[in-house]
Structure 1
């Protein structure tokens, strides 16, 4: 983990952290919740149990940034959950990276995986009786814009920009 005195931080989460969660929370989240980290990246194992851990890490970063308005937090955590779950389900990679930062009234969220499958994230319109397939529709609804990038190495980044609400403090938390 990079020190939080920089403007960005990277956190490597291991399978041991996931298996011992929430006891490992304090080992990963600094006391100031990344208050000075304008950008943060979380690298987690590509397993379903990593989704709530990543949500907890992002929630702590939001706390450190003074973003405590539910009209912002709920969409951010929902988009994160959908994108992270898709990366686990549709990637052949062993790790997923989540990046989050804020600029110009937006929270930017990226979820990156190593690819390795022919599946490409596409928004679908599933039938009412289908239980799955609405994730990217939720992402589109919660975001001012979203998209995906496929790199030459077949890795994939799906990103979203989520508006900060009027109730969110500007700048760093005190």
Structure 2
């Protein structure tokens, strides 16, 4: 299922038609995709959508759920802060004991940071380091038009 939310829907969430449509859960056994504007308020909305999707997929492993929410939050925040994107697309897919989380930006003026050694005085890069510690694999791919997709693979079996 693909869901595109406008800036107005993000600001008014959960008092929107999209939220009402999902009140009884996400359609089962389908990958999820949601495109949102680059507003800070979009991050908690996408976390909510991710929880609904994981519920519909029967993902109950708390470690996997926590890792998915961390990955989504950190990658979305990076795209909002470090790119010139107008919108961000997040995708979730469950296959063969794995959960794949992707966040695609549109590129732009600034570039997203890469993980590096973290020291207490430097706040930048910590999110990607946390992601790397929470997943089995992660990476990026460049997209046509200058965007970039960050992805992470999470074990559903612990």
- Give the TM-score normalised by the residue count of structure 1: 0.83
Select which of 61, 78, 82 maps to 1:90. Answer: 82
Gaps of 5+ in 1: 1-8, 167-174
Are 2:33 and 2:90, in contact at CA under 8 Å, matched by a contact in 1? yes
Partner of 2:70: 78
* TM-superposed deviation, 1:27: 3.2
Cα RMSD of the aligned pairs, angstroms, is: 1.6
> Where do residues 82-161 of structure 1 align in structure 2 (5 Å cutoff)?
82-161=74-153
Aligned-partner Cα distance in 2 for 1:139–1:34? 27
SS in 2 for 1:62: helix
Indicate if the aligned counterparts of 2:141 and 2:150 stay in contact, CA closer than 8 A.
yes
- Give 1:120 shift: 4.0
How many Å apart are 1:32 and its aligned residue? 3.8
Is the CA contact (8 Å cut-off) linking 2:106 and 2:146 kept in structure 1? Answer: yes
C-alpha distance in 2 between matches for 1:104 and 1:11: 24
Unaligned runs of 5+ in 2: none
1:43-88 Cα offsets, whole Å, 9 max, x none, are: 0011111000000001100010111221211111011101111111
Q: Distance in 1 between matches of 2:42 and 2:112?
A: 21
Question: Does the C-alpha gap of structure 1 residues 157 and 97 become closer, same or farther in structure 2, counting only changes over 3 Å?
Answer: same
Q: Deviations over 1:77-112 (max 9, x none)?
A: 011101111111111111000000011211001100
Cα distance in 1 for residues equivalent to 2:8 and 2:21: 12
CA distance in structure 1 between the aligned counterparts of 2:144 and 2:90, rounded to whole angstroms: 20
Deviations 1:97-136 (A, max 9, x none): 0000011211001100100124143112232133342011
Q: How many residues align?
A: 157
Larger helix fraction of residues? 2
Note if contact 2:113-2:125 (Cα within 8 Å) is conserved in structure 1.
no
